[in-house]
């Protein structure tokens, strides 16, 4: 008699938080790859064109996936609140891709990671949530780290505002998602916001071109550029699907530290493709920003603080895309 030994992963690895953490880690390492293609494209296209192309490529990957996963679609995909989310996605991506065109990816992402700190500042006046003195101090320390990275008057100049604008728009989008996710699934919001953002960027590009604000560059795009557009959108879409799967399998508290792998991925991509490497002051600022962000998140997970987080915001924090 022949015996066949079949090795399978333990159930907690297959369906539990371990698989969720793995999905999150892979997603955070893939996102900078898509950003790298976007930065390469800015040498041939205007940032608004790169944003438009990336969103359209992202939609071409995301929508067929959503069709396959249609059992996870819930609630209306098209509504004013989802349109507002799409508009904030436009601002976030355009500002971030514009930042990629004028500074190292790792620097732009480091400044962008001020978003949890900005969100903490906004939830009080916009959502009526109580933020204690410890988190307020952590926000102040984190913003000091942002100043260390930006170094006002330094080489970055006005461009340092771009990732901060992206971070602010993203934080506002998290608040918008509080309402949107109360009657819709994350996949529904993501698909609807992507389509609205595509439409908005097409209108914006047409208006800019008609008024001579930039010269359309798609006609002169080299052959590799079309592959770069497809790769940028595909890596973003796959990353967002993995993030959604991660949050389906694991609690946000387990996944939060893995988000900072994006900084590592951005640094590695920037170094090998562009030869960019953050200097010592930038690394110090990055460390302060990430440490403050993790502390703020840790404080929010404490039972006494979680009671002050509105249910809608808990759902909104589970949808991460840009």
Per-residue pLDDT tens digits for 178-201: 777 777 777 788 888 999 999 999
Structure-model confidence comparison of residues 262 and 252, the more confident one: 262
pLDDT band at 15 (very low <50, low <70, confident <90, very high): low
**pLDDT reported for residue 135:** 75
Contact 86, 196 (CB under 8 A): yes
**pLDDT reported for residue 313:** 46
pTM confidence score: 0.80
Of 175, 187, 291, residue with least CA distance to 243: 187
Query: pLDDT (tens digit, 9 = 90+) per residue, 57-73?
Result: 989 988 888 788 788 78
Give the C-alpha separation, 91 to 169, whole Å. 6
pLDDT band at 51 (very low <50, low <70, confident <90, very high): very high
Give me the sign of the Cα torsion angle 114, 255, 36, 175: negative
């Amino acid at each position: 008699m022949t015996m066949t030994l079949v090795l399978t992963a333990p159930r907690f690895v297959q369906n539990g938080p371990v698989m969720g953490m793995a999905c999150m880690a892979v997603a955070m390492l893939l996102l900078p790859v898509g950003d790298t293609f976007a930065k390469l494209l800015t040498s041939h296209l205007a940032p608004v064109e790169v944003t438009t192309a990336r969103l359209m490529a992202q939609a071409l990957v995301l929508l067929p996936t959503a069709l396959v996963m249609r059992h996870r679609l819930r609630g209306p995909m098209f509504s004013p609140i989802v349109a507002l989310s799409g508009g904030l996605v436009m601002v976030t991506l355009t500002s971030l891709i514009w930042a990629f065109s004028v500074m190292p990816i790792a620097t732009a992402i480091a400044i962008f990671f001020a978003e949890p700190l900005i969100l903490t500042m906004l939830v009080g006046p916009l959502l009526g949530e109580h933020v204690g003195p410890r988190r307020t101090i952590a926000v102040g320390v984190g913003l000091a780290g942002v100043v260390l990275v930006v170094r006002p008057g330094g080489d970055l100049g006005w461009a340092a505002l771009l990732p901060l604008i992206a971070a602010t728009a993203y934080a506002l989008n998290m608040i918008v998602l509080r309402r949107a996710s109360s009657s819709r699934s994350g996949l529904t919001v993501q698909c609807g916001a992507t389509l609205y953002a595509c439409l908005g960027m097409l209108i914006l590009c047409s208006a800019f071109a008609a008024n001579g604000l930039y010269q359309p560059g798609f006609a002169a795009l080299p052959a590799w550029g079309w592959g770069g557009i497809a790769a940028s959108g595909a890596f973003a879409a796959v990353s967002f699907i993995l993030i959604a799967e991660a949050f389906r399998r694991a609690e946000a508290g387990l996944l939060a530290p893995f988000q900072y792998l994006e900084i590592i991925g951005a640094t590695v991509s920037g170094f090998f493709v562009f030869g960019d490497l953050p200097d010592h002051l930038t690394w110090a600022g990055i460390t302060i920003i990430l440490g403050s962000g993790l502390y703020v998140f840790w404080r929010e997970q404490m039972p006494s603080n979680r009671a002050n987080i509105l249910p809608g915001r808990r759902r909104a924090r589970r949808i991460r895309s840009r």
